[in-house]
Amino acid sequence: MAVSRLAWGVLALALTGALASLLGPDHLWWGLNLGSLGATVFGFTLWVGAWLFARYPDRIFAVAWSIAERRAWTALVFVALIFLAYLRFMWSVAGMPEVPATFADLPSQHFIANLVVLFIAWAVVSSSIRGKEPDIIEADERDLRLRGAADHTGDWALTILVGWCAGLLAFQPAERLSWWLAPLIAANVLIGILIVKSLVEHVYLVGRYAWERR
Amino acid sequence: MNAAAAHGPTIVNRIRELRVSVDGLTQEKLGTLCGVTRQTIIALEAGKYSPSLELAFRIAYALGRTLEEVFQWSAKK
């Protein structure tokens, strides 16, 4: 088995929490606030997961996986979580009655807090993946070649996304166009494009690793 | 784009056959001798990766063979 049941369990719980916080930020479900509950579950599993990675790295990943492949999987999970946090943030921005004029108008406190937590957890997990062996090879020429191919795929994804955005803007009605072109909205859309580019890169990278191991 | 990238690896190798003929030479050990991971040796033996010229020389040296004894190029299209 490539990834242990424990890791899949933690991942599933974290994703369920993230989805609950994304889909139900202000909705009550049987008297429970799904958004708060989801955020709590997500935060708890994230730190439990980071601790498990740091304590038992070989129980999370199969021994047959190289360090670079483990890092690629870790990056994919964290970029996916960052993308979910971004979607939740943009969802709340889209629901604002007026176009935000200044940074202070944006409901960005939770998003920034989520990003800080995710980046810290990512750094903890990533540094623990290497283990304690002094002479371990972290990446060799095959890893670098796969990384290069993933970067190339990411560049294509970026080109397509920018073209798609340009097309979308071209066909927007005038009253909606002013919303899209508000500086803070445009800036956040550009950040979203970069997150999606990174997501495509990492999906490609773990896909190539999986294919070469078949 | 090189031929390997366009049509899959056209460089075939006898790494596995030669490695098992050397007593106690595991994939892990060969990888360490050549400065690559065990996973790269697995990919090479499975024919899913074509090495750089430098790595090919390192592998041949570690196996005590010439480059031509370990690697052959096939003109597959």
Cα–Cα dist A7/A103, whole Å? 38
Residue A13 burial by CB count (10 A; 0-12/13-18/19+): exposed, middle or buried? middle
Q: Does residue B46 lie within any of the structural domains?
A: yes
Looking at the predicted structure, is the pLDDT value of residue B45 above 50?
yes
Whether the per-residue pLDDT at B44 is higher than 90: the answer is yes
| CATH code of B16's domain | 1.10.260.40
Average pLDDT over all residues of chain B: 86
ipTM metric: 0.80
To the nearest whole Å, the CA of B22 is away from the closest chain A CA by 22
Structural domains of chain B, count: 1
Residues on chain A touching B39 (C-beta within 8 angstroms): 64-66, 69, 142, 213
H or E, element range at B25 = none
| Total-model pTM | 0.79
> Is any Cβ of chain A less than 8 angstroms from the Cβ of B38?
yes
**Side-chain half-sphere of B5: how many Cα atoms within 13 Å?**
8
Q: Tens of pLDDT along chain A (214 residues)?
A: 455 677 778 778 877 887 777 666 666 666 667 777 777 887 788 778 777 776 776 666 666 778 898 889 889 988 998 998 898 888 888 888 888 878 787 877 778 887 888 888 888 778 777 766 667 888 899 999 999 999 999 999 999 999 999 998 888 888 888 888 888 889 999 999 999 999 999 999 999 998 887 7
Contact residues on chain B for A207, CB-CB shorter than 8 A: none
For residue B9, is it within any domain?
A: yes
A137 CB neighbour count, 10 Å cutoff = 19
Residue among B11, B40, B49, B50 with most chain A CBs within 10 A, to mutate = B40
φ/ψ of residue A64, rounded to 5: -70, -5
The residue segments making up the domain with residue B37 are 3-65
Asked if A86 has any chain B CB less than 8 Å from its own CB, the reply is: no
- Contact predicate A161/A196, CB 8 Å: yes
* B74 located within any domain: no
Q: Where are the alpha helices (DSSP H) in chain A?
A: 5-23, 34-55, 57-60, 67-94, 109-129, 141-170, 174-180, 183-213
In a domain, residue B73? The reply is no
Q: Is residue B70 part of a domain?
A: no
pLDDT, position A204: 97
- Whether B50 contacts B15, CB under 8 Å: no
CA distance A3 to B37: 19
Q: Is residue B75 part of a domain?
A: no
Residues making up chain A, counted from first to last: 214
pLDDT at B27: 93
pLDDT at B23: 85
Contact A137 B37 (CB under 8 A): yes
- The whole-number average pLDDT for the span B20-37 is 92
Q: Which chain B residues have a beta carbon less than 8 Å from that of A137?
A: 31-32, 35-37
- Whether B11 and chain A come into contact, CB under 8 Å, resolves to no
Distance CA A118, CA A122 (A): 6
pLDDT in tens, B61-72: 999 999 999 999
Q: Which two tokens stand for residue A143?
A: 């890893």
* Any domain includes B49: yes
- Residue B58 tokens read as 């390192």
Report the gap between the CA of A29 and the closest CA in chain B (Å).
48
Whole-number Å distance between alpha carbons of A141 and A131: 21
pLDDT at B4 over 50: no
Alpha carbons within 13 angstroms on the beta-carbon side of residue B41 total 27
Residue B2 binned pLDDT confidence (cut-offs 50, 70, 90): very low
| Pairs of CB atoms within 8 A across A/B | 42
